[in-house]
Structure 1
């Protein structure tokens, strides 16, 4: 039997992945209130208010740790820089999604966090596979997934992006332990 930690902290060379807390609300709202971030996600609204950040933190606290785990990505010098989450969403394997605040793009934080999350999922959750997707017009996210060991499946799904208010093509990928 696998014992699920209530609030694990996953550490990397530069980052700590931990549960978001009430003290993170203002920072989350400031980073996430960026149309270019929100439009590359399915679920994130834009604008993203302090109330949205509060609701997000409360929803994460209420997650079933056996089927979902959301981590705040915290940099050792910069504080919170983004979010990464793993969740069951109807696929055969849990799905992973992430975003990084614009001031921190291009520094490898998404890849570092994603690699740590895959290790955690394989050890802490005993998962042998994860799935992910990126919008067809976001090849940078595809490169992050590839660097973390995800492979393209050839499947393209249509998904509704809240921030775009429209259906968007999502290129599907899989990671195998």
Structure 2
């Protein structure tokens, strides 16, 4: 696979998915510093401060865009409202993950962002198969992924959540086929 020049902007009807910038730090920290946001992710700590956001952005800037990509989900009136990304040890195991700030839940933004990102992954990376998982107690995330075209595999894995004290939580696995 040839190297991808990662400066894409994915435009959906109401959103833009773009490369994270240093200017996003405060906004991302503000939205991520919510236990109900953080507890639905595997790696996000709670409380979540500016230092965490700065570390996250530094980590993202060091990613190999042939294997992993992170987008800031940007609303034209509200700025950065969340994050969506792809990572995995190989192209056969690439997984999508995302989070949105609480004020933007229930408006269809996560589904819209996921649909745009999936089109990008298929067109840019040639992915025809992607994975996802959501904690069993996060039914809304399951609905987002289902609306974006993911199907349940029947597999449930135990995955830790840093915000939940590192305790494993049942995670329902899903797959998307282009």
State the 1:6 CA deviation. Answer: 2.1
State the 1:78 CA deviation. Answer: 1.2
Instruction: Specify the alignment match of 1:70 in structure 2.
Output: 70
Distance 1:63 1:159, change over 3 A: same
Q: Over aligned residue pairs, what C-alpha RMSD do you find?
A: 1.2
Distance (whole Å) between structure 2 residues aligned to residue 31 and residue 91 of structure 1: 30
TM-score normalised by the chain length of structure 2: 0.96
State whether residues 86 and 95 of structure 2, in contact with CA within 8 Å, keep that contact through their aligned partners in structure 1. Answer: yes
Instruction: Specify the alignment match of 1:85 in structure 2.
Output: 85
Instruction: Specify the alignment match of 1:175 in structure 2.
Output: 176
Instruction: Specify the alignment match of 2:152 in structure 1.
Output: 152
* Structure 1: gaps (5+ residues): none
* Structure 2: gaps (5+ residues): none
Specify the SS of the correspondent of 1:163. helix
Aligned structure 1 segments of 4 or more residues deviating by more than 2 angstroms: 89-93
Number of aligned residue pairs: give it: 177
Distance (whole Å) between structure 2 residues aligned to residue 172 and residue 86 of structure 1: 15
State the 1:90 CA deviation. Answer: 6.2
